[in-house]
Amino acid sequence: MTDPGTTTAFEAAGEGATDVAAVTHHTYDVLVIGAGGAGLRAAIEARLRGKRVAIICKSLFGKAHTVMAEGGIAASMGNANPRDNWEVHFRDTMRGGKFLNNWRMAELHAKEAPQRVWELETYGALFDRTPDGKISQRNFGGHNFPRLAHVGDRTGLELIRTLQQKIVSLQQEDFARTGDYESDLAVFHEYTITELLKDGDRIAGAFGYRRPTGELVCFHSAAVVLATGGVGKSFKVTSNSWEYTGDGHALAMRAGAKLLNMEFVQFHPTGMVWPPSVKGILVTESVRGDGGVLKNSEGERFMFNYIPEVFREQYATSEDEGDRWYTDADNNRRPPELLPRDEVARAINNEVKEGRGSPAGGVYLDVSSRMPAAEITRRLPSMYHQFKELADVDITAGPMEVGPTCHYVMGGVEVDPDTAASAVPGLFAAGEVAGGMHGSNRLGGNSLSDLLVFGCRAGAGAAAYLDGLAEVPTVSDASVTSAREDVERPIHNSGGENAYTVHQELQQTMNDLVGIIRKADEMELALKKLHELRDRIPRVAVDGRRAYNPGWHLALDLRNMLMVSECIAMAALERQESRGGHTRDDYPTMDENWRQELLVCSLQDGPDGPTVQLEHQGQPAMREDLFDLFELDELKKYYTGDELGGHRSDAPPRQTRGTEGAGDEAERSSSTTETGGDPGGELTGGGA
């Protein structure tokens, strides 16, 4: 789809003349790596601000992970309940992340999400509507009001297609002016970036290869936006696709940026477990939100045994009460199937461990006994279809088998909230690859909005950075040579390790030893195994040609997966508490002393090459007006006495607080019954 660029026969030092592939060079103002929601929104913004932009992605244009999102996109537009506003959304997000979130990111996100969603309509998006013609908003776990804009259960598809079509629209405007669709906004699909290139401290470009041909490419660009998504493919059981190999995380580390919160990995409680080939594929949370119940092999609704102390008051203690909640949320407490994701995932894990699991190693999720078949197919069409086609299970007639699946990484590149700039000048990051926004646990629907808010800010940040740049950095031959050697190593190796085998071992290690429930000795063992893999990965050899060779591509992804796995394991071993997406068997409770400890990973040069280093870093204290949005009683659950230090203990409640407070219960259309004490979030609703 793109212009051929200029090709230079690049003589790699010290290499046999027989295999000197040419390197094609391209020059752009801004390079956006990733064509999911975050990348596309960043590209649009940088182009609007007058920059020449290239978008690069590993798959075809329009196939990024964002396409798979189901449930919706969170924005406090107040269409379903006019009392919703950014302050309520902010509070929900902080609670969901157990107050470990970067509060400034959470603030920007809550404030700007509505504008970013409305903009999509001007690009042509067609969301589901309310009776008065506005964007419809649905209830979702941890969100106090119905807040998720949606299109059935294919919201991600609508989001990515809309952004893709806006890109096309900008290209058409450029075409009208220049006669070339790609003159100022080009898409390089099926290209993979393997290294960022620097000039001194600054970003100067990126190096990679073109999948279909295996040709090598070098992009010259002073600003790079990373929007590469997550890391799920380091785990065996995951809802994530092959693209999620943590490339952006690793690229940023190798370029000198830092990753934070890597220990926080979200395991969604309900992935498919049978048949084995679909293990991990997501079963939407709407199933439980709409009345589905979890049972063990003894037919017991076991979640009643797993209500933690902090939630005692908010959850039903009998099946009858739980069942009544679906129709009368105001006078009953919600069923424990709708506890936060981390709680449900742990409970399922324990049932299976104690021998009450299903034959395929999960538990049963049943809607068939809860509502008539016609209603199931109407409410959950894609789940009906998914189980029918992939598992031969008719969910209107019998239960599904489900178990936890690795879903989302909260950790990522440390960025400046306002500009999405990393510590490396010229390097920006947005979307799942960036860290901080979601703290220790992400609320459903908050990812798609995150992509738009921070994608937009990253595009703006990159454009502003370029406007202030005195001198254009240059790519050195030496950096290209070294990037090229790394890319070609698996081709030049002979008779080494098989990439697929090494990948399976890595996935098994992470799954078994750094999975949903973690123990010190297991993680130490995991680190030992990862260190062994570190020696083996450079020896991976591939057969075949350069053109579209998946074995080669996997061989190159392995070192990224290894690096993020090391970060996850090291941070998880260090954090001696359980919080959100990090559960320690040996430290089962949340410890307020850990709330403001952030664990940060970076690469440091050592005697055997660069190694991952872990450091502690303090969290900046929340701005006072934001802090005041919370009741002291709630803050006490998360903050140490010293941090609170009598703060606001007798301050009068602010006017803006209490929008979701006890007051007029009857008016509340939200299905939540408690008044804002919902730490951990993720209670009901769709995909997420």
Ligand X SMILES: Cc1cc2nc3c(=O)[nH]c(=O)nc-3n(C[C@H](O)[C@H](O)[C@H](O)COP(=O)(O)OP(=O)(O)OC[C@H]3O[C@@H](n4cnc5c(N)ncnc54)[C@H](O)[C@@H]3O)c2cc1C
CA distances to 289, 628, 668 from 660, in Å: 20, 15, 8
> Considering the rule CB under 8 A, would residue 71 count as an interface residue with other proteins?
no
Q: 664 CB contacts (<8 Å, ≥6 apart)?
A: none
Number of H helices, E strands in the chain: 18, 21
Which residue lies nearer to other proteins by CB, 371 or 626?
Answer: 626
Region binding other proteins by CB under 8 A among candidate stretches 4-12, 157-165, 289-297, 610-618: 157-165
Ranges within 194-233 binding other proteins (CB under 8 A): 212
Ranges within 389-428 binding other proteins (CB under 8 A): 389-392
Rg (CA), the chain: 25
CB of 591 to ligand X, least distance (A): 28
Cα dihedral 290, 380, 120, 430 sign = positive
* Neighbour count for residue 636 (Cβ, 10 Å): 14
Q: Beta-strand (E) ranges in 190-317?
A: 191-199, 202-210, 216-220, 223-226, 259-260, 265-272, 293-295
Ramachandran region, residue 78 (left: φ > 0; alpha: ψ -120 to 50; beta: rest):
left
Query: How far is the C-alpha of 434 from the C-alpha of 222, rounded, in Å?
Result: 20
Ranges within 79-118 binding other proteins (CB under 8 A): 85-87, 107-108, 111-112, 114-116, 118
Query: How far is the C-alpha of 198 from the C-alpha of 267, rounded, in Å?
Result: 36
To which residue do tokens 């590209």 refer?
43
> Considering the rule CB under 8 A, would residue 128 count as an interface residue with other proteins?
yes
57's contact among other proteins, ligand X, none, with CB below 5 to 8 A by partner kind, is: ligand X
CB of 190 to ligand X, least distance (A): 9
Interface mask toward other proteins for 482-521; x: CB under 8 A: ----------------xxxx--x-----------------
Among 11, 121, 319, 615, binds other proteins (CB under 8 A): 121
288 is annotated as an active-site residue? yes
Which residue lies nearer to other proteins by CB, 281 or 310?
Answer: 281
> Considering the rule CB under 8 A, would residue 168 count as an interface residue with other proteins?
yes
> Considering the rule CB under 8 A, would residue 361 count as an interface residue with other proteins?
no
39's contact among ligand X, other proteins, none, with CB below 5 to 8 A by partner kind, is: ligand X
Question: Sheet of 216-220: strands edge to edge?
Answer: 6-8, 23-27, 216-220, 202-210, 191-199
Which residue lies nearer to ligand X by CB, 227 or 307?
Answer: 227
Is there a contact between 127 and 103 (Cβ–Cβ < 8 Å)? no
Which residue lies nearer to ligand X by CB, 197 or 523?
Answer: 197
Which residue lies nearer to ligand X by CB, 59 or 221?
Answer: 59
Which residue lies nearer to ligand X by CB, 72 or 581?
Answer: 72
Among candidate residues 25, 210, 288, 489, the one labeled active-site is: 288
Q: Which two tokens stand for residue 602?
A: 């970076």
Is there a contact between 410 and 450 (Cβ–Cβ < 8 Å)? no
DSSP string computed for 3-72: ---EEE----TT--GGG---EEEEE-SEEEE--SHHHHHHHHHHHHTT--EEEEESS-TT-SGGGG--S-
> Considering the rule CB under 8 A, would residue 463 count as an interface residue with other proteins?
yes
CA dihedral 220, 223, 226, 227 (to 10 degrees): -100
Which residue lies nearer to other proteins by CB, 614 or 629?
Answer: 629
552's contact among ligand X, other proteins, none, with CB below 5 to 8 A by partner kind, is: other proteins
Q: Which two tokens stand for residue 83?
A: 């009392």
> Considering the rule CB under 8 A, would residue 551 count as an interface residue with other proteins?
yes
Q: How many residues bind other proteins (CB under 8 A)?
A: 104
> Considering the rule CB under 8 A, would residue 47 count as an interface residue with other proteins?
yes
CB of 309 to ligand X, least distance (A): 30
> Considering the rule CB under 8 A, would residue 654 count as an interface residue with other proteins?
yes
Query: How far is the C-alpha of 536 from the C-alpha of 528, rounded, in Å?
Result: 13
604's contact among other proteins, ligand X, none, with CB below 5 to 8 A by partner kind, is: none
Task: State the residues that interact with ligand X by CB under 6 A.
Answer: 33-39, 56-59, 64-66, 68-73, 155-156, 192-193, 227-229, 239-240, 243, 247-248, 282, 408, 431-433, 444-448, 451, 687-688
Which residue lies nearer to ligand X by CB, 81 or 286?
Answer: 286
126's contact among ligand X, other proteins, none, with CB below 5 to 8 A by partner kind, is: other proteins
* Neighbour count for residue 47 (Cβ, 10 Å): 25
Region binding other proteins by CB under 8 A among candidate stretches 13-21, 433-441, 460-468, 475-483: 460-468
285's contact among ligand X, other proteins, none, with CB below 5 to 8 A by partner kind, is: none
Q: Exposure pattern of 349-363 as b/e (b: 16+ CB <10 Å)?
A: bebbeeebbbeeebb
Is there a contact between 5 and 25 (Cβ–Cβ < 8 Å)? yes
State the catalytic residues. Answer: 268, 288
